[in-house]
Structure 1
Amino acid sequence: MTYPTALTTTNSNPRLRLLQGLKAGTKPVMTFMGLPSVRTAQIVALTGVDSIILDCEHGHISDDSMHNSVAAISALNVSPVIRIRAPLPDLIKRALDTGAHGIMVPQINNAAEAELVVRYSKFPPQGLRGQGSAFPAIAHGITIPEYMKSADETLITCLQIETKEGLDNVEEICAVPGVDLVFIGPNDLAQSILGYVPARGDEPEFIAALDKIVAAAKKHGKWVSRLSNSGALAKEHLEVYDTVAMGADMKAITMWFTQELDVLRK
């Protein structure tokens, strides 16, 4: 049996800014946030980004901060997405129960891992997700019954391809029903296939890997995204990708102080 997904839904909830931007082809821009602060969440949400990825894999974000930041971001009509630590059912459940508009799962290596993520991201009969939280409906701006009816086809399930094994199996991963967005982690991918970070960007093996992932995603009708380290690179990448994650809160702070201190001390 086939089910509607974020890729095929006709749901037009305007609160779901990332989803609506992807469906409209307007090339929404995301960014990463790794600092555990409601105020940081609010400040970043007011910059004009369409979505904020709360980095619970590498960032300093606790369970409590994750809940608070999702509430703050969604209240400002920006889409919160949570990058969890691993493809584990309890982490998927906890992230979605905050009201996140989607999840990002790192280092997906094969179709079985992709299927597990989808299974625990969807309510029965499609999957095995349990219901019990009132918070998701709030973050989606709808009632709990409305959320229960729409969640399976509006939540964005994003999987990261960032290992050689994931690259080798990318066709099978992208073919899994319920996978909506494939995200390239260029640094881990470079480390895995080249043995160093960051990639220069001109290595034939690295370019071929990016092309292979993009081609597999498009072949199977999935959205595809990647990390972009600057506005200039993001603009270039959006000629190919459906959305990008431009930088991160910690990098932005570091860059501003470094640049301005250089000006001051010259």
Structure 2
Amino acid sequence: MMTGRNRLKARLKAGETVTAAWFELGSPEVAELLVYSGWDVLVIDCEHGSAGLEAGLNLLRAVEGAGGEAVIRVPDSSEATLKRALDRGARSIMVPMVHTAKMAREIASFCLYAPRGRRGYAAPIVRATNWGNLPGYAATAHEELLIMAQVEHVETVAEVEEIAGIEGIDMAFVGPNDFAASMNHLEDMDHPDVRAKIEEVERSATASGLMLGTITGVAGPGRSYSELRDAGYGFIVGPNDVGLLAGAARAAKAQAAKELGEETGEAAPLPSY
């Protein structure tokens, strides 16, 4: 049973296809703007985005204050990083580069209190418990925790079934660009060999009851929301704030140049994962 605090996990468990946007620029104003514009789930990117872990965790307030749900993509899978994120109130965590079942098992252990794991205890004094105002938090924290393990290497394909059986790991989040790079097809995630291996991940995860997440490749190659939904993905991350701003800026400049009869150079491709 869930206590109802993690609405994103509840939606996914209910079978809803949830769409989200990447949040890279680290501005609380941008976070609010995105949520108020309809992107009610944001992935705060502390791996590649402007905000480091501490700044990213502070941005939870902006997302939640605007009525949204946040996923924190942590910069690494260390015990200290994960403990810090959880204590500061992250309920949904995306962990990059989870290449093996052994690594996934360690991640789950770091995130779960005993007897399920070895998460360090400081419940009465952290933001996750509303500063000690959530009695019984330690006993139910695992119910509200959503861990997305990023599958980003071809060698992980053989590990997906075992990863699916690890308590605490809820989702295989496929990172197709790094996955393609691991097969020597950098920036060619639509290569037939890459697609074939990713389809193996999809089949293995689906058969094992592991939820699936990925990206669309909104401004470049990739599959559409409907294609991904039909392939079994319940969590689909589309645009990022950098791409949205850059796209709007370029379109506005092009319109101004057109009206003034000015020549413009060829636009660079929009930023995309």
State the match for 2:150 in structure 1. 160
Displacement, 1:122?
0.5
**What CA deviation, in whole Å up to 9, does each residue of 1:207-233 have, x standing for no partner?**
211211111111221110101133982
Distance in 2 separating the partners of 1:221 and 1:55: 27
1:209 aligned counterpart, secondary structure: helix
Q: 1:245 aligns with which of 216, 237, 241?
A: 237
Matched, 1:64 2:64: no
**What CA deviation, in whole Å up to 9, does each residue of 1:102-156 have, x standing for no partner?**
11111111111000000001011111112324211349xx942243232111110
CA contact (8 A) 1:45 1:76 kept: yes
State the match for 1:217 in structure 2. 205
CA contact (8 A) 2:79 2:107 kept: yes
Q: 2:66 aligns with which of 76, 88, 113?
A: 76
Displacement, 1:92?
0.5
Displacement, 1:99?
0.9
CA contact (8 A) 2:3 2:144 kept: no
Alignment of 1:124-135 (within 5 A): 124-132=114-122, 133-135=125-127
Q: Specify whether residues 95 and 62 from structure 1 end up closer, same or farther in structure 2 by C-alpha distance, changes over 3 A only.
A: same
Distance in 1 separating the partners of 2:31 and 2:121: 26
Alignment of 1:92-171 (within 5 A): 92-132=82-122, 133-138=125-130, 143-171=133-161
Q: Specify whether residues 230 and 74 from structure 1 end up closer, same or farther in structure 2 by C-alpha distance, changes over 3 A only.
A: same
2:248 aligned counterpart, secondary structure: helix
Structure of higher RCO (CA pairs closer than 8 Å, 6+ residues apart): 1
Distance in 2 separating the partners of 1:78 and 1:138: 18
State the match for 1:234 in structure 2. 225
Q: Where does the alignment leave 5 or more consecutive residues of structure 2 unmatched? A: 259-273
CA contact (8 A) 2:25 2:50 kept: yes
CA contact (8 A) 1:107 1:166 kept: no
Q: Specify whether residues 47 and 147 from structure 1 end up closer, same or farther in structure 2 by C-alpha distance, changes over 3 A only.
A: farther
State the match for 2:11 in structure 1. 21
Q: Specify whether residues 122 and 66 from structure 1 end up closer, same or farther in structure 2 by C-alpha distance, changes over 3 A only.
A: same
Displacement, 1:12?
5.1
State the match for 2:35 in structure 1. 45
Q: Where does the alignment leave 5 or more consecutive residues of structure 1 unmatched? A: 1-9
TM-score when normalising by structure 2 = 0.85
CA contact (8 A) 1:81 1:102 kept: yes
> What percentage of residue pairs aligned between the two structures are identical?
27
Which residue identity does 2:65 align to in structure 1?
Answer: A
CA contact (8 A) 1:22 1:242 kept: yes
- Look at both structures and tell me which one has the larger radius of gyration over its CA atoms: 2
Distance in 2 separating the partners of 1:190 and 1:164: 8
